[in-house]
Amino acid sequence: VLTTMLSSSGRLGPCRPAPSRQVICDASSNYVRRAVLSSIGAGSLHLISSRSGYAASESGEIPSAPDEGAAGPGPGSTAAAVQEVPARRRLQPVPRTKLKCGLEVSQIIKGCWQLDGAHRGDAQSDRTSGADAVADFERFFMAGVSSLDTADIYGPSEALVGQFLRLNPWLRDEVQVSTKITCMEEDMAHLSRDMLEYKVTAAMRRMGVAQLDLVQLHWEDLNVKGYVDAAKWLADMKGRGLINHIGLTNFDTPHMIQVLDAGVKIASNQVQYSLLDRRAELYMADLCGKKGIALLPYGVLAGGFLSSSYLGKAAGKVPVNTMSKAKYGAQLKELGGWTYLQEVLQGLKPVADKHGVSVSAVAIRWVLQQECVPAAIIGARNASHVKDLQSVFTFELDEDDLFAIDALYEGATNQPSSDIFVWERGGAW
């Protein structure tokens, strides 16, 4: 592959195809991939292994992943290494943006809750563990999804992120790693400065990094004091270079104010936020706007229910086979149940058709157009929806679209009126 693609000077050789064409390469080895990227720059050519089902484009446009079993050199093939193929639908990589704190992230952040071992679901589409999960990180990265969000309680997810980074060390500066330090039960009552630092350094070792780009504090019961001290200890670790930025997860407005009043600079608050769950708009968005704090939404697709896959489907035929479905199914029940979900999906379908995208892309686009939302966290069990994520940036919702979506929300029989994560902590909806 190197002798075919590169001249002796380390630049593209004479076999360079026209910009309108794409190259599929049998570049399965990390050595080949690293050599090509370092020779011509990752921004000039997107090179991906055909063994993993990837394509490459000189123009920087990333097409959809080819179907498995598509023609081309297979594992171990010594046939022609480079093939020209007609261009597929041209989609740009997911763009990046900067938070007010200066941290640059991709506007789609890959959520890693699905890698905790409780989201395997259908066996045929399951890629939530082992080598499959690690390989999918690369597919997301090559589509522009360079930011990863994990947690110390997401099973082996941090170790899987670490494996990906160890296999691709030249990507470390291009990948933004955020994790959550989760304090629950006895952790809240007995947390010390040393124990918190142990948690942080353990996460660093699992992921093989010298610094964590963003550490987000989750405090399960905000009636138990200690979260302000924990945030201040994280600030001390930031001062010593272990952490680049500090965030919160599932903090409601009054308790985030307490952390801010203690002098801790907060970069973000990770909250549940979707066109179905708008609790973030009640109080939190206003505070974040005033303080320059990013809202990083999860649950954007309501555990996958905001998808045309469920349009017209009977509730009894939907298996609740992942933790996400169980969680968001309970919230759908609060909003109005399966009948209400069907009304929402029916209303979103014309908007999706108008823009030539999926219902899920519309749901993601809606969140990204909200105040204080620079990026959205999207969990995925596999990389089959990468092209769908890229399509989110091919359109914007206009006033008519936004009005129609707001009207769907008004149809909920029981809209939430409480702050962030109050219901999940046993409070009112």
Q: Can you give the three-state secondary structure of 206-220, one letter per residue?
A: HHCCCCEEEEEEEEC
Q: What is the pTM of this model?
A: 0.79
Check whether 290 has a pLDDT greater than 90: yes
pLDDT band with cut points at 50, 70 and 90 for residue 310: very high
Average pLDDT, the chain: 82
CB 95 within 8 A of CB 391: no
Q: What is the pLDDT of residues 339-387, one digit of tens each?
A: 999 999 999 999 999 999 999 999 999 999 999 999 999 988 777 889 9
CA 337, CA 330: separation in Å to the nearest integer?
Answer: 9
Which among 352, 395, 388 has a CA at the least distance from the CA of 143?
A: 388
pLDDT tens readout for residues 23-42: 333 333 343 344 434 333 44
C-alpha gyration radius of the chain: 22
Strand positions, DSSP E, 189-319: 212-219, 243-249, 268-272, 294-298
Please write the tens of the pLDDT for every residue from 115-140: 766 655 556 556 665 688 888 889 99
Q: Which residue has the tokens 């409601």?
A: 252
Convert the pLDDT of each residue in 29-88 to its tens digit.
343 344 434 333 444 333 333 333 333 333 333 333 333 333 333 333 333 332 333 334
CB 142 within 8 A of CB 48: yes
Measuring CA to CA, which residue among 284, 288, 282 is closest to residue 267? 288
Give the Cα separation of 53 and 65 in Å (integer): 6
- pLDDT exceeds 50 at position 295: yes
Model pLDDT, residue 228:
98
Neighbours of 58 (CB within 10 A): 19
Whole-angstrom distance, CA of residue 257 vs CA of residue 234: 17
**Residue located via tokens 């069990």:** 381
Q: Two tokens at 161? A: 């992120």
Q: Are 419 and 284 in contact (CB under 8 A)?
A: yes
